[in-house]
Amino acid sequence: MAEKKKNSSTRERIIENAKKHFYCDGYSKTRMQDIADDTGIALGSLSYHFKKKEAIVSSILKIFLERLYDHTLENAQKPLNALELHFYASIPYYENLLTEENTKRFYYEFTQAQSVHSTNYGGSELADFITEVYHQSLKDYHIFVDDAYANMAQKFGYGGRVQMVIDYVEGALGTVNIAEMANFLSSSREMLLGVPKAELDRIGQEAIAFNREVDFSSIMPLT
């Protein structure tokens, strides 16, 4: 039990020190050695908890998204199914990643690295979390699809998310705002798998209205 608590404490310190480096130095310039040094552990010990820098970001983003989910549920005026919850939380997820300059730089650099090196956008922790959300949303709508087709749709969603974030930061999406982009990203895979467009449009409009009323500004990924 004591060893488990120690590992948990070390992992938390790694994440907090990584967040400071990512915020101040960006994703590209932050080295695993920098994070290990600030945590007071050897590089090998850091690798025991996180094999790659991407894995630390995956954990940070998963924790961030979970906090947004919790805040959404605390403020929702009605019960939400899995897809509604994801839509509602996705708007502040992207707004808080892509508005403040240091955080936007970090996320842009991370996303660029994903486009080159990864087929599993966000790393395993975040990907597993989102996959579970999608599986639950299909159950909610009584949609049953072949696993291979669902996997292809998910990879399509990851690739599209990578490119759309890059295009947004580089100004290639024109007048599209973050809320519109978030709704599109939340709906594209579900539409491929059979959730009716009218239902996705309804949820998207509700998500925008909800985010006009509820303040998520205190829930940031790195600070």
For residue 160, what pLDDT is reported?
85
3: phi > 0 → left, psi -120 to 50 → alpha, else beta; which? alpha
42 and 82 fall within a common domain = no
Cβ neighbours of residue 25 under 8 Å, at least 6 residues apart?
A: 34
65 and 150 fall within a common domain = yes
The 3-state DSSP class for residue 77 equals coil
Structural domain includes residue 221: no
Distance separating alpha carbons of residues 3 and 188, to the nearest angstrom: 43
| Per-residue pLDDT tens over the stretch 133-142 | 888 999 999 9
Structural domain includes residue 190: yes
Structural domain includes residue 223: no
61 and 90 fall within a common domain = yes
Structural domain includes residue 218: no
118 and 177 fall within a common domain = yes
105 and 26 fall within a common domain = no
Split into its structural domains, the chain has a count of 2
122 and 166 fall within a common domain = yes
Residue ending a domain, among 34, 51, 68, is 51
35 and 14 fall within a common domain = yes
113 and 134 fall within a common domain = yes
Q: Using the CB atoms, write b or e for 46-71: b if 16+ within 10 Å.
A: beebbeebbbbbbbbbbbbbebbbeb
Structural domain includes residue 222: no
202 and 97 fall within a common domain = yes
162 and 57 fall within a common domain = yes
Sign of CA dihedral 119, 151, 179, 21: negative
38 and 74 fall within a common domain = no
102 and 142 fall within a common domain = yes
Distance separating alpha carbons of residues 153 and 192, to the nearest angstrom: 7
Structural domain includes residue 85: yes
Q: Which parts of the chain sit beneath pLDDT 50?
A: 1-2, 4, 119, 121-122
Distance separating alpha carbons of residues 143 and 147, to the nearest angstrom: 12
For residue 115, what pLDDT is reported?
65
- Domain of residue 181: give its range: 53-213
